[in-house]
Chain A
Amino acid sequence: MNILQQISDQIDLGDDEKVYELTTTAIEQKIPVKQILDEGLLQGMNIVGRKFKEHEIFLPEVLMAAKAMNAGMELVKPLLLSGNVPMKARVVIGTVRGDLHDIGKNLVGVMLKGAGFEIIDLGNDVTPERFIETAKAEGAQFIGMSALLTTTMPVMKEVVDRIRSENLEDKIRTLIGGAAVSKGYAEEIGATAYCYDGSNAIDYLNSVI
């Protein structure tokens, strides 16, 4: 079996050590790094994503696969960067100021990474300034915000308003999610999109990049 196929299979099985080993070998064999990414790592995550959508596997298995994907990405990412191979898109994510609920945001970050997006995770309790300054400094095309409380969701509006007032709407788009918010709230504050969960965020980002 070809090594890229093996990488993909081991991602599906969630074996991070095997993925690390196989990716090391693939790099040593001088397989182009973009090919390792697309036909090995991302291919594996695509299969996992499909199985998850079809309820063949559940979130813990997706997360084990994501850990395995990460093990391979650790080796591949520096080569992608040094070879100027572009990632799909860069997304700054965080839980908004005053809110410490970060498990949902973490899951979304992991799933987006698994789908090939570059994620800059600012953690929780993130101020509007930090979201925007980081997105500008890192050249991110998206800001993804999470809020679980009705008292913290207005921070999302602050971010959207600042993006507008700085005329950055064409450069930085905003995604919101979390128990407190809805599609209606995204429309009300002028956020670009509301995402129900990680898969939904992947579908949205894939549809616009």
Chain B
Amino acid sequence: MTSELIYNRIINFSINEMIPDRVVVYKSQGIKQEPKVSKKINDLYDHALSIFTQDVEPKGILKEISIPEFAEVFQGNGENEENTPVQHIFPLADSLALFAFTLGKTISDTISGLFSRKDFALAYMLDSIASASADKAAFMVEQKRDKSSKTLLYSPGYCGWHISGQQQLFKKLEPGQIGISLNDQFLMIPLKSISGVLITGKKEIHNFDHDFTFCAQCTTFSCIDRQEHVIN
């Protein structure tokens, strides 16, 4: 991926930069690092990673959007929660860009194939690597977008932005160009894909309290780590 992301364009990611941290993958599988991860698991990870690097076809798409245009996208089908962090953040942004990213279809097909061949452990390890990699893509664009201020990706399906918001986002961004489609339940195909809006601005704009109505049901609390990263 090249320096700063400021254009409307398709972004090609290098495969090496998509490799997630082994510790993150182990954590997602509940594997404890202490006292020591077994050789069996380490070998499994290495095997899955070699498949991952062969099969992954990472591609992103980015489109600058104005605040009024995004207001319309965010409105979606009118199903958002009444009060959401994003509605307070985006009007304060210096710039906004819609973003989507996919690891491609092959990796999902390979995971399914491994399961059918009863290679359960390998399939699950590959799945976890791919999930962590898709998450990493968000972090990478956030880092590279604009070094003079702070960028975070906010996604439909999180923090009160209803997942049906994908429809408006897709209309504007047209990620079909990189092979992502949306089914009628707003699920992106291929599965290992992410979407959202990159909000760039002063670090303070990303700061919000975690007392929205939906916070009570949240199981991920990923916003806390993400905020800490840009604010501190």
Which partner residue on chain A sits nearest B189 by CB separation? A100
Summed over the interface, the residue pairs from A and B with CB atoms below 8 Å come to a total of: 75
- A100–B123 CA distance with the chains assembled, in angstroms: 16
Q: Say whether A60 contacts B185, CB under 8 Å.
A: no
B31, CB-defined interface residue at 8 Å: yes
Residues in chain B near residue A66, CB distance under 8 A: 120
A-B complex: 4 closest residue pairs judged by Cβ atoms: A98-B185, A63-B121, A63-B120, A60-B121
Q: Say whether A151 contacts B164, CB under 8 Å.
A: yes
Q: Say whether B115 contacts A106, CB under 8 Å.
A: yes
Q: Given the known A-B contacts A58-B29, A60-B44, A60-B124, are A103 and B185 also in contact in the complex, defined by CB atoms under 8 Å?
A: no
B51, CB-defined interface residue at 8 Å: no
Which bucket holds chain B's interface residue count? 20 to 34
> B182-205, CB under 8 A of A: which get 1 and which 0?
011111010100000000000000
- A59–B128 CA distance with the chains assembled, in angstroms: 12
- A109–B31 CA distance with the chains assembled, in angstroms: 21
Total A residues in contact with B, Cβ cutoff 8 Å: 26
Residues in chain A near residue B112, CB distance under 8 A: 102
Q: Which residues of B contact A (CB under 8 A)?
A: 29-32, 38, 40-41, 44, 111-112, 115, 118-121, 123-125, 127, 157, 163-164, 183-187, 189, 191, 219
- A100–B185 CA distance with the chains assembled, in angstroms: 10
Residues in chain B near residue A63, CB distance under 8 A: 120-121, 124
Partner of A67, one of B40, B41, B121: B121
Instruction: Output the least CB separation between B107 and chain A (Å).
Output: 12
Q: Say whether A107 contacts B219, CB under 8 Å.
A: no
Q: Say whether B29 contacts A67, CB under 8 Å.
A: no
> A55-90, CB under 8 A of B: which get 1 and which 0?
101111101101100100000000000000000000
Q: Given the known A-B contacts A14-B40, A60-B40, A152-B185, are A100 and B121 also in contact in the complex, defined by CB atoms under 8 Å?
A: no
Q: Say whether B40 contacts A98, CB under 8 Å.
A: no
A101, CB-defined interface residue at 8 Å: yes
Partner of B32, one of A58, A102, A110, A151: A58
> A90-117, CB under 8 A of B: which get 1 and which 0?
0000000011111100110010000000
A120, CB-defined interface residue at 8 Å: no
A149, CB-defined interface residue at 8 Å: yes
Instruction: Output the least CB separation between A67 and chain B (Å).
Output: 5
For this complex, 8 residue pairs linking A to B, each with C-beta atoms less than 8 Å apart, are: A60-B29, A60-B41, A66-B120, A67-B119, A100-B187, A103-B123, A106-B123, A152-B185
A179, CB-defined interface residue at 8 Å: yes
Residues in chain B near residue A60, CB distance under 8 A: 29, 31, 40-41, 44, 121, 124-125
